[in-house]
Structure 1
Amino acid sequence: MFINLTLIFLIVLEKMLHDPMYLFLCNLCVNGIIGSSSFYPKMLYDISFDSHVITYIGCLTQIFFISFYVYCESTNLTVMAYDRYVAICKPLHYHSIMTVRKVWTLLLLTWLFTCLECCIGILVTVRLPLCGVDIDKLYCANWAVVKLSCNETTLINIYSYIFTFFHICQMILILISYVKIIKVALRSQAVMRKFMQTCLPHLITLTNFVLSLFCDVMYSRYGSNTTLLALRNIMAVDFLVVPPLLNPIIYGMNLSHIRNRVRQMFNSKVVALR
């Protein structure tokens, strides 16, 4: 939380960091806080009071924000890949293509479309009557609640297939963007240095996020095996814990403007204390 907030305030307050790449990074950090906040408070409450129950409204709220985090992360990473594609493959037209208006439009569409996805998912889930109350997971997940339903789940399955297909298409767009970026980067050492500095953090973030979601799928695969409870719990929360923690660190280490500004900020505080 502290690392994400530091990066957010740094980007917001520093005018030299108001470029599209840093604004998309700021959005990534805000979304990371949403993802962490949807999981940690309830987990800390359960540990502190030895409680393992949640109200139905609380469960739906947690589902909404966890889903929002996942969908927004996927869409924002796609927008960031497009930004890097324009910056490296069309550098002379970058500022004419990635205008301030276009950047804010992309950010707004990311949030609006994500909110629409989550609202549809919640509305479809609310319609299902429940025949059970036990969720075999550390947090409320949409599919975990759907499995408790007494009725047909055809509608929720159609919804899941449609939006899964949409986000798979996003991953394909990212892959196509990076194939073109790498082709251009291999032609010049200067472009390759730019690729390593600005695109490598995005690739690490993307890989980390996809692998974390894969771990959650593996959790579902081993859901009936009680002997792997600890492993399943780790895999289930990996995408909520690891990406929000590592993303600001990865970008902070690789992007020189952010790294230098953070160093200056903390050095000034040390001098002031002296």
Structure 2
Amino acid sequence: MSLFAKNVSATITNFVLVGIIEIESFRYVCAVLALALFSVALFMTSMIVYIIWTEKSLQEPMYILICMLVINGMLGNSSYFPKLAIDLLSGCSTISLAECLCQSFCLQLYAWVEMYTFTVMAYDRYLAVGHPLRYHTLMTNITTQKISLAIYVLNVVKVAVSVLLTSKLTFCGVNINNVFCEIVSLQPLACSDITINTIYGNTWTLLDSISCLLVIVYSYIRTVIICLKLSAESSLKALHTLMTHILAFSIYGVTLLFVNFRNRLNRGSASTKLDVIIPLIGLGIATSVNPLIYGIRTKALREKIVCNLYKMAGKTKFKKRLNW
């Protein structure tokens, strides 16, 4: 590397989030929407986690995995929504390298934990429908908890290595064409060799994506085939649960593909308002929609949520009467 490149990279301590500048004209609207979406997702996630934690009848593998999924969604939400709202309200469009790497770590961890969790959920439903008599020995609560822990440990290590490799790079560019930081946005700004980073990232992406998708597709197909042989009532119940998983996974998958293609197609080009808003809305929906999908479409959760809301409303009315 040239002495000039070293000097330039040494002076770069902050990056510019060009996306923040692009939506400057309606930043207050975006900030309010970001906070509203974050608040709704936080409330629904808290309700689901509380209900699953307190209701013994719901402490089984399927609901433990749903709990893990919505908590992971809040990790993704929390990694960029609060900062985005603060940046929009304050007019700040810069981010330090340390903050950028931290945000990249959280977003990447969210994405891969989500993929792995959907994979385990698909296989769990296949076992529940295909092997009902052996299901409670094949998939116990302890087994589910161990799998969940393994998913986080594996992905924390994997993503930490990716972020560590990126932190070793020297940077000559400062403009990130997005409203948040991620590894694929940082690497094009490097003036040092990124071959190892690219090989490491692409290898894990291909291996994880292909293996997870194979398990998911196999589990879905096998579950549908088995459902066709069941009674009408059992078949409808199993297919309803399966469709909930497919809906949630489809939203996640489409969003992830769109964001990745957008990053590769626009690499090095100037951002436009449309290029910023569409991925922002997509990622916002992907990280926020799971609590709504599972809270509305899962009967046991829906009934408990409605019951708790009625209790909260009743207590509020009672307190108002006392104050009156």
TM-score range, shorter chain: over 0.9
Q: Which residue is equivalent to 2:313?
A: 270
1:174 pairs with 2:188:
no
Match of 1:258 in 2: 301
Q: How does 1:77-116 map to 2 (within 5 A)?
A: 77-116=118-157
Separation in structure 2 between the aligned mates of residue 230 and residue 186 of structure 1, nearest angstrom: 47
- Which of 148, 156, 162 is 2:197 aligned to? 156
Kindly provide the CA deviation profile for residues 179-236 of structure 1, in whole angstroms up to 9, marking residues without a partner as x: 111110112223321223321111101000001112202322245665x722211333
**Post-superposition shift, 1:271?**
3.1
Q: Is the partner of 2:307 in helix, strand or coil?
A: helix
2:84 to 31, 34, 43: 43
Aligned partner of 1:207 in structure 2 is 250
Spell out, residue by residue over 1:13-42, the C-alpha distance to the aligned partner (whole angstroms, 9 max, x if none): 111110100000000011011000111121
Structure whose CA Rg is larger: 2
- How has the CA–CA distance of structure 1 residues 31 and 239 changed in structure 2, closer, same or farther, with 3 Å as cutoff? farther
Q: Deviations over 1:96-135 (max 9, x none)?
A: 1011221111110111111011111111111111111111
Deviations, residues 139-177 of structure 1 (Å, cap 9, x unaligned) = 111011111111211111111122112222101210011
Instruction: Answer yes or no: is the 8 Å Cα contact 1:20–1:98 preserved in 2.
Output: yes
Corresponding pairs, count: 273
- Give the equivalent residue in structure 2 for 1:218: 261
Task: Assess if the C-alpha contact under 8 Å between 2:224 and 2:239 holds in 1.
Answer: no
1:233 maps to which of 276, 283, 296: 276
3-state DSSP of counterpart to 1:108: helix
Q: Does the 8 Å CA contact 2:75/2:106 hold for their aligned counterparts?
A: yes
Contact 1:184-1:191 within 8 A present in 2 as well: no
Shift in Å, 1:261? 0.8
8 Å Cα contact 2:116/2:151 also seen in 1: yes
Three-state SS of the structure 2 residue aligned to 1:147 is helix
Distance 1:212 1:243, change over 3 A: same
Q: How far apart are the structure 1 equivalents of 2:202 and 2:314?
A: 56
- What stretches of structure 1 of length at least 5 have no aligned partner? none
Select which of 209, 221, 241 maps to 1:198. 241
Give the match for residue 75 of structure 1.
Answer: 116
| Residue 23 of structure 1: aligned partner | 64
TM-score with structure 1 length normalisation? 0.95
Equivalent residue of 2:272, what SS? helix
Root-mean-square deviation (Å): 1.5
1:184 aligns with 2:226: yes
Indicate yes or no: 2:145 matched with 1:127.
Answer: no
8 Å contact 2:123–2:219 — kept in the other structure? yes
CA distance in 2, matches of 1:4, 1:157: 35
**1:85 maps to amino acid:** Y
Q: Which amino acid aligns with 1:23?
A: I
Instruction: Please tell me the residue identity of whatever aligns with 2:142.
Output: R
Counterpart AA for 1:94: Y
Q: Tell me which residue corresponds to 2:181.
A: 140
- CA deviations on 1:219-255 (whole Å, 9 max, x unpaired) are 22245665x7222113332453112322111111211
Question: Any conservation in 2 of the 1:39–1:240 contact (CA below 8 Å)?
Answer: no
Partner of 1:65: 106
Alignment partners' CA distance in 2, 1:150 and 1:222: 19
Q: 1:54 aligns with which of 95, 107, 115?
A: 95
Secondary structure in 2 aligned to 1:269? helix
